[in-house]
Amino acid sequence: MKLVDWNTLPDLGVSHNPDIKKRTLIGKDEIPQLMMYGTATFKSGQRVELHKHDTMYEVFHIQSGKAIFTVSGKEYELGPGMCITIEPGEMHGQNNPFNEDVSWVYFGIATD
C-alpha cells in the first residue's frame, strides 16, 4: 500500500516547461506501464510547445480554469470536467491564454 498526501508533495517543473509546476502522486515504475499520475497548474500565459510521445498515451482531466489543447493541428478549449486522451504519436501542446490558472489531473500509460 502507498498513501500520499497531495498537500505535502513538492512542486516540480514539468519536463516541457520548468516554470509550470506539477505534483506527482504516483511516479514512473511504481505501477507497470504507468508513466506518472499527478496534477499540474498552468498560470495565465504559460504554455507547452508542440511535442509527441511515440510510446505513451496521456490523459488530462481539467479540474478548474480553462486551457487550449492543440492536437494534430486542431485547437480544443477545455474547461472543468472535460477529459482528453492524447494517443501515441499525436503532436500536442497546451496553453493558457486566459486570465485564470488552469489545473488538471493527468497520467501517462506506456505502450512499450
Residue extents of the structural domains in the chain: 12-110
CA–CA separation, 20 and 103 (whole Å): 11
What's the mean pLDDT in 21-35?
A: 90
**Predicted local distance difference test score (pLDDT) of residue 50:** 97
- Classify strands 102-110 and 34-42 as parallel, antiparallel or unpaired: antiparallel
Strand order in the sheet with 102-110: 12-14, 17-26, 34-42, 102-110, 56-64, 83-86
Residue 40's closest CA among 56, 57, 59, 54?
59
What pLDDT digit, counting tens, does each position of 32-88 carry? 999 999 999 999 999 999 999 999 999 999 999 999 999 999 999 999 999 999 999
Tell me which amino acid residue 103 is: S
**Candidate CATH numbers 2.60.120.10, 1.10.10.10, 3.40.47.10, 1.10.3720.10; the one for domain 12-110:** 2.60.120.10
**Predicted local distance difference test score (pLDDT) of residue 108:** 96
Residue located via cell numbers 516541457:
16
**82 φ/ψ angles, rounded to the nearest 5 degrees:** -85, 145
CA–CA separation, 98 and 76 (whole Å): 14
**Predicted local distance difference test score (pLDDT) of residue 35:** 94
